[in-house]
Structure 1
């Protein structure tokens, strides 16, 4: 098999897993939840369940963000100089100790950058959140109910807001809050990354 095509082997596995889940979902729901999982959760556990909820958004954003984080973190780990790994092993460290105390520490600025880029991607996401959350403006702390992010709120309500109205100004305030949060978050992440680089650059 040509290099780089190993991931193609996962395609039939994913298709088979999706087919299995779709076929087994009614059977499992009938066996464990009396054929109606939302009513079972509401009656037995007192949990209100919406089909589009924060849990679905978390899974969807995980699929969207994890490849970016993994790719950048992998590049950072493989960029660690080989002589550091070989020197650690030559001094008697186990492969696990070398990974934890040498490789991960040296690659920590790149790994941290990967996590920050992924989180920034998740915070600024609009359409995935808008389609998967049910676009619920009233939220609570339950992961089984819908939600609406600031970016999705701006995208949905801005076309309907009257210019110079209170609603219009509140949406601009939401945009300023989103920008401020992103700016502060990215600035703090850059400061931490620079300190990690300075701390472990002499290894």
Structure 2
């Protein structure tokens, strides 16, 4: 059994210093953060660079990039003190929001495409996304408003107890779901900025040539633009992954810092970076605990180095493959 237990209440204690739970927690936090951030950031980057009107792009892109300057300690503080209790008290609303929001956006897009052309032409080209703002606000309000009613109808008044008793799944207030939401918000600007620049840098001649040959804008985007920009998009994802792996303050403040090896979305975790930040001040210089903490920092460094190296090799292969387009 892999255990990290560096201290105990009694003196007759042998430390258990396995790095497996910490490595697992690091990858778990990064996985859930990327699960939220990657599709949102890449889709937003493609839409902003390819479909959005230039005037709207000049307003939207700086706002999203400005999010990158927000200190992660503030995000961690907000996630630990406000987001975690709110998610615990509105679990049905949070999950219904995550499920209904994509459906609502698709339904709104389909409805807009079926409107008479005289109505659709009134919307300036590239500003169609602004029509989604009331849809997103309405779906969010409806999901959170219906949360207590859904909890009473389907989960006996307490979804957390239903998860624990009926499903046998441990629920911690500060869990991987909260970390995924908070750290995903922190990673989105990194991925978005690099991916948007990659898509926007695709030569305009390729786009115009594809359209001149009869391809639709969607076909041009999927078969020409994305393939040409794929090295940059892949680099954006790898940089975002590296940011998520090395994040310290959000996982330090928004998790229970429990070094467990469970993929459970509702259970806490502890990462390598957070463990070094927590335990380094109290470790004895030159002791086994002190040396293992340095080893964990080295593991984190090697992991990011290997991941970035592989990402660069794959990016070079993609660039060579699609440079002939």
Structure 2, gaps ≥5 residues long:
1-54, 65-129
Two-structure CA RMSD over aligned residues (Å): 2.9
Counterpart position of 1:68: 190
Deviation at 1:20, TM superposition (A): 7.7
1:4 to 59, 82, 92: 59
Structure 1, gaps ≥5 residues long:
none
SS in structure 1 opposite 2:166? Answer: helix
Counterpart position of 1:153: 275
Counterpart position of 1:50: 172
Deviation at 1:163, TM superposition (A): 0.7
Deviation at 1:160, TM superposition (A): 0.9
Deviation at 1:60, TM superposition (A): 1.3
**Measured at CA, do residues 5 and 104 of structure 1 come closer, stay the same or move farther in structure 2, by a change above 3 Å?**
closer
**Measured at CA, do residues 20 and 143 of structure 1 come closer, stay the same or move farther in structure 2, by a change above 3 Å?**
closer
Deviation at 1:180, TM superposition (A): 0.7
Deviation at 1:31, TM superposition (A): 4.1
Counterpart position of 1:124: 246
Contact 1:53 1:133 in 2 (8 A): yes
Counterpart position of 1:84: 206
Contact 1:133 1:148 in 2 (8 A): yes
Deviations along 1:33-91, one digit per CA (max 9) or x if unpaired, are 33333222111111110111111111111111112212221111111111111111222
Counterpart position of 1:176: 298
1:135 to 243, 257, 270: 257
Contact 1:57 1:128 in 2 (8 A): yes
**Measured at CA, do residues 57 and 195 of structure 1 come closer, stay the same or move farther in structure 2, by a change above 3 Å?**
same
Cα separation, 1, equivalents of 2:309 and 2:162: 46
**Measured at CA, do residues 96 and 5 of structure 1 come closer, stay the same or move farther in structure 2, by a change above 3 Å?**
closer
Q: Give the TM-score, by structure 1 length.
A: 0.86
Deviation at 1:167, TM superposition (A): 0.7
Higher normalized contact order (CA 8 Å, seq sep 6+, divided by chain length): 2
